[in-house]
């Protein structure tokens, strides 16, 4: 039976869910696919736990790591061997797939190292794919980001939704993308559904935060940077190698509130209530819905911000924290190809990473 070794980078909410799903499903994969999946290393900011044997880290250790992180300790039993040092050994012992569920571009180097060693890489972390075009790591990552490459990144846009794979299928069969429009943030979806029902914007943000739809600091969502990165990834997927600085982004964080405390920010956010409330009222009167939208078109490139969308469209009818992506192509022109569903959540995001991992694993064991 062929063994597949996994290296889990980042074991927070999503990474922990990946580990749990691997532990739970590996027996089924042995029966169904004929390969044995083990986790050879788990790495986080505090260090790495690295298996010295061929069977990977045992289930008790993996469960303790996840539970410890959940309880707030977040520590790993660090070895003297770093992940950078251990990765060549792990790859030499069996086909290896690195899963990057971290945050930030600090992991880009280990992602590139894995690819250079012949391993596969699966990302939910958007930052490495959004590095400047001038960064040499960008070309190293994107050259393997084709549908035939060893880098998979479905979970970077729409959690577990098949957005990237659908786009690749269209491109691989010779279709041409004319326009991409999407509500790519469950956070904004929840907020603007509440605003559309008549609530002030500031209260909608506080409610979304209380329900766990925002980052601990809502400005990380409201800046629009996360949506912009998703737009950039979609644009690069269709061959437009743009940078984040090329994207027109409407931030909903006033400049004078960027550096204040979270509590002060939430207290003063009501100053946007009148402006956004007026736009929401206009939308209700004109049969449209106020949404926070990403759009790519050949003439304007990527733009990100609030738009009034006709309620008669699937995008305008969207409610709550769902995501939706509309792909208008030469084949799907009058009636665009639409992908929709839950665009956030640890379980579905982890499942998106697992699906990419299984695709690579099946390729490695042929």
Q: Tell me which residues are annotated as active site.
A: 230
Give the DSSP letter string of 78-115.
--SS-HHHHHHHHHHHS-EEEEE--SSGGGHHHHHHHH
Asked if 42 and 48 touch (Cβ cutoff 8 Å), the reply is yes
Q: In what order do the strands lie in the sheet with 2-9?
A: 47-50, 35-44, 2-9, 96-100, 120-123, 151-152
Q: Which of 111, 196, 119 is nearest to 150 (CA)?
A: 119
Q: Which helix (H) or strand (E) holds 166?
A: helix 163-172
How many helices (H) and strands (E) the chain has is answered by: 13, 12
Asked if 42 and 19 touch (Cβ cutoff 8 Å), the reply is yes
Give me Rg for the CA atoms of the chain: 21
């Amino acid at each position: 039976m062929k063994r597949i070794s996994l290296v889990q980078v980042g074991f927070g909410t999503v990474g922990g869910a990946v580990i749990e799903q691997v532990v739970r499903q590996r027996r089924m994969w042995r029966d169904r696919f004929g390969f044995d999946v083990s986790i050879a290393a788990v790495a986080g900011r505090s260090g790495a736990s690295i298996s010295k044997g061929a069977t990977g880290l045992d289930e008790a250790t993996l469960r303790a790591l996840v539970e410890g992180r959940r309880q707030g300790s977040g520590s790993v039993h660090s070895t003297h061997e770093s992940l950078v040092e251990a990765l060549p050994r792990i790859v030499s012992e069996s086909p290896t797939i690195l899963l990057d569920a971290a945050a930030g571009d600090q992991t880009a180097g280990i992602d590139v190292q894995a690819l250079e060693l012949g391993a596969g890489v699966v990302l939910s972390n958007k930052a490495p794919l959004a590095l400047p075009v001038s960064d040499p790591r960008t070309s190293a990552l994107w050259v393997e980001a084709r549908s035939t490459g060893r880098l998979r990144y479905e979970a970077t846009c729409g959690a577990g939704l098949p957005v990237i794979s659908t786009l690749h299928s269209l491109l691989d069969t010779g279709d041409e993308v004319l326009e991409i429009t999407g509500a790519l943030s469950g956070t904004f979806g929840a907020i603007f559904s509440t605003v559309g029902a008549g609530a002030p914007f500031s209260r909608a943000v506080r409610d979304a935060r209380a329900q766990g739809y925002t980052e601990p600091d809502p400005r990380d969502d409201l800046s629009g940077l996360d949506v912009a990165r998703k737009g950039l990834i979609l644009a690069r997927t269709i061959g437009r190698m743009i940078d984040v600085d090329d994207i027109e982004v409407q931030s909903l964080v006033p400049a004078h509130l960027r550096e204040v405390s979270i509590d002060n920010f939430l207290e003063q956010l009501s100053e946007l209530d009148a402006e956004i409330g007026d736009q929401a009222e206009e939308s209700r009167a004109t049969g449209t819905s106020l949404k926070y939208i990403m759009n790519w078109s050949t003439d304007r490139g990527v733009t990100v911000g609030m738009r009034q969308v006709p309620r008669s469209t699937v995008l305008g009818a969207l409610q709550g924290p769902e995501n939706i992506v509309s792909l208008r192509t030469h084949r799907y022109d009058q009636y665009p190809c639409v992908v929709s569903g839950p665009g956030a959540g640890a379980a579905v995001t982890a499942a998106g990473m697992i699906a990419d991992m299984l695709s690579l694993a099946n390729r490695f064991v042929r």
